[in-house]
Each structure stands twice: as structure tokens, then as C-alpha cells.
Amino acid sequence: MKKGILFVLLTVLAIYVIIICVDARSGDLFISDNNPANSGENINKGEVFDSSGDGEIASRELISSGEEESQENDNREKNEDILYNESGRIIIAMYHKFSETEGNDEWGRSFDNFYEDLKYLYEHHYRTVSLNDYLNHTMKVPVGCTPIILTFDDGYSGQFNLILNEEGELVANPKSAVGVMEKFYAEYPEFGLNGTFYINSTGFFGNVGTNSQKLNYLIEKGFEIGNHTSTHVNFSKASLDTVQKEVGTVANLVREAANGYEITSLALPYGISSKEYKSYIAEGEYEGQKYKNNIILLVGAEPAYPSQSEKCNLLSLPRVRARGGNKAVDYDLYYWLDKMEKNPNMKYERIS
């Protein structure tokens, strides 16, 4: 009887020793709490821990180096999902004249008040983006912030003009909207330096510098150029030939002066379109060169829907008039900013 029990015990022991040996060779035996494979650190599958005790790793796949891990982190950052409150809306602010004082001009804004506009936007977590980023749905602002788009009509010198600095270089006049934005950007770089300037074919941005120098200065800074027709035409009274000439002249001028730069948007003069030739405002040809405006902007009304929204009409996109002068304007910039502060769900805010 005792021999039988002893035989059984020896048999069990032998089986146990065999299991230990097999497991040890497979690398699956006794992973301790201090082992990286059980600590949440990234060890690739298929690794085999050497049992020789010299600390080396015998593996079918090498553990990722720090450089590879860094690359993986970079890729995750690039491919991260950027989520916004898709029911929210985006302000496309519309500015016109700039000067030292505003007076009673409802289309004017003083440089000081414009700086205060930018400061208010920054402090209320708005960040500027380009109109093309809006169009292409590539806007990126920090989590908790809302994109805003700044536009400037008519090419006034108060918006932008060049001067010679002490080194003899052409720079933006500090007493201009661009000068104010550059100053603000230097103080708050995270706010961004973006805006689209809608020009006619003559007389834009003062008398210093060539058209090429003026346009390229803006483009190199990251600003965009838009079409405002050659002579600020009223499209409702224009023939087909006039429509194409008015749009095509500006497109061709900018293309030639700014190294092939292609305009992608147009701001309607007076906010008036053409019932009969609307499609030719968006796309056409003049003097053998084609033009295409993916966005047509109105004069002002309300915040816009995101470009990917079913409610968005890119060829009839609303803007919000900036406040100017002492004359009250219904539904101006601060009306909508205040409304959005009271109704946060209206904001196209980044949530992750």
C-alpha cells in the first residue's frame, strides 16, 4: 500500500517537473509583479526572457528603442481624433476701415478697439484659423477653444500698408490692422495669425511697395488673399461678360503678382449676387485663365455652420459685422459673442 502511494507521488512529481521545464523554455513561467511584461509597460508579444541569468533578452521581436517609441508617440499625435461640438457654429468676422478714431462711421474700427477685440476673443478662448482651413475641415485649435475667422474687405490702407523700417526693410505699418495683429501675435502666439483680405484690382493697401511686394508680404505671413471684384461691382446689374471680367481680373492679377497664388474665395460687394449668372461668380474663365471660388461670402448676418454640415452653403456663407463707430448695428460681433457666452452649445468648440 505504501509503495503504491509512493509510486503515485513520484509520478505526480515527475509530471510537475516536466511542466516546469516546458514552461521555462516557453518563457511563460512565473512572471512577477516587478516584471515589465506584467507592469503595463510596452513589451512586444513574442519576447522570450533568457533563463541564463545574464540579463540579456532573447527575442523573436526586439523591444522598441526609445527612438521608435518617440516615433510612435509622434504618429499618435498626428493621427489623433480632433472632435468638435458639431452642432456649434463659427463666427466669420467682417471688418472694413481702420484708423486712429472711429467717429460715426459704422464701417470703421480704431486700432485700439481692434486690439481690444483681439484681446476679448483670446480671453474667451477663441483662436484664429484660416478660411481655407475652414473650407478643408482642417481647423485645429486647443481643446476648450473655438475657431474664429477674420476677414477684411476693400483693401483699405488702414487694414495694411508697408513702411520702411530703420534697416530699410519693408514691414507692416504698426498703425494698421496687420500691424496690430502682428503685435498681438508676438504677445499671444497661441492666438494665431490669420485673416483673409478681399481686394479690388487697383488702389489696395497704400502706395508704398509694388502689388507683388504687398501681396507676398501678407501671404508669407500666413494671411490669405480673396476676391472682391475688380471695381466693386453690383452683380445684380452686371452682364455675363462683366461678371467674368470682374472676377477674372482680380484672380489673374493676384496669380501673376504672387507667384501663381490661387484665390479660393470671393466676398460679394454690397452682399449682392446675380440671380442669372451666380454660377459664373463661383467659377469661370477670363482672358484664357480659369478661376474658381469655393466660398462666396455675404456681407453679414450670423455665424456660419461648419463646412461639413448639411446646413452649410459654401456659396452663400454668412458673416458677422464687426462693431464700428457710434452707430449701433443689429447682430454685430459682440451681439453674437455675448449670445454664445450665454449659450455655450452654440460654439463650435473643440472637445478633444
The whole-number pLDDT of residue 11 equals 54
CA 13 to chain centre: 69
How many H helices and E strands in the chain? 9, 16
Rounded CA separation 106/97 (Å):
9
pLDDT over 70 at 342, yes or no: yes
Distance CA(318)–CA(280), nearest Å, equals 20
Percent of the chain whose pLDDT exceeds 70:
77
Taking each helix axis as running N to C, give the angle between helix 240-257 and helix 211-221, from 0 to 180 degrees, rounded to the nearest 10: 80
What confidence score (pLDDT) does residue 310 get? 95
Q: Is residue 63 very low, low, confident or very high in pLDDT (cuts 50, 70, 90)?
A: very low
Q: Encode pLDDT of 213-231 as tens digits.
A: 999 999 999 999 999 999 9
Partner residues linked to 286 by β-bridges: 289
pLDDT at 236: 98
Give the separation between CA 64 and CA 72, rounded to whole angstroms: 10
* Residue 304 CA to its chain's centroid (Å): 15
Strand 162-164, strand 320-321: pairing: unpaired
Task: Provide the grid cell at 92.
Answer: 466669420
pLDDT digits (tens, 9 = 90+) for 66-112: 444 445 444 444 446 789 999 999 999 999 999 999 888 889 999 99
pLDDT number for residue 68: 45
For residue 177, give the nearest of 193, 200, 190, 199 by alpha carbon: 193
Using pLDDT thresholds of 50, 70 and 90, give the confidence band for residue 205. Answer: very high
Asked if the model's pLDDT at residue 58 lies above 50, the reply is no
**Phi and psi dihedrals of 191, rounded to 5?**
-70, -25
Nearest to 121 by CA among 326, 327, 340, 342: 340
User: Taking the C-alpha atoms of 67, 68, 72 and 77 in order, what is their torsion angle to the nearest 10 degrees?
Assistant: 20
Predicted pLDDT of residue 169 = 96
Beta partners for residue 48, in sequence order: 58
Q: Tell me: pLDDT of 10 over 60.
A: no
Q: What is the pLDDT of residues 158-184, one digit of tens each?
A: 999 999 999 999 999 999 999 999 999
pLDDT at residue 81 in the model: 79
For the cut 60, the answer to whether the pLDDT of residue 31 exceeds it is no
What is the rounded distance in angstroms from the CA atom of residue 120 to the CA atom of residue 256?
Answer: 38
The per-residue pLDDT of the chain, averaged, comes to: 83
Domain positions in the chain: 2-78, 91-346
Q: Is residue 341 scored above 70 in pLDDT?
A: yes
Phi and psi of 42, rounded to 5°?
A: -85, 100
Cα–Cα dist 160/118, whole Å: 17
Instruction: Just give the CATH number of 91-346.
Output: 3.20.20.370
Q: What is the structure's pLDDT at 14?
A: 55
pLDDT at 64: 36
- Cβ-proximal residues to 342 (8 Å cutoff; 6+ apart), any chain: none
Is pLDDT above 90 for 325? no
Q: At what angle do helices 111-123 and 333-342 cross, to 10 degrees?
A: 20
Answer for the pair 301, 319: CB distance below 8 angstroms, yes or no. Answer: yes
Number of Cβ atoms within 10 Å of the Cβ of 312: 16
The residue among 72 and 199 whose pLDDT is bigger is 199
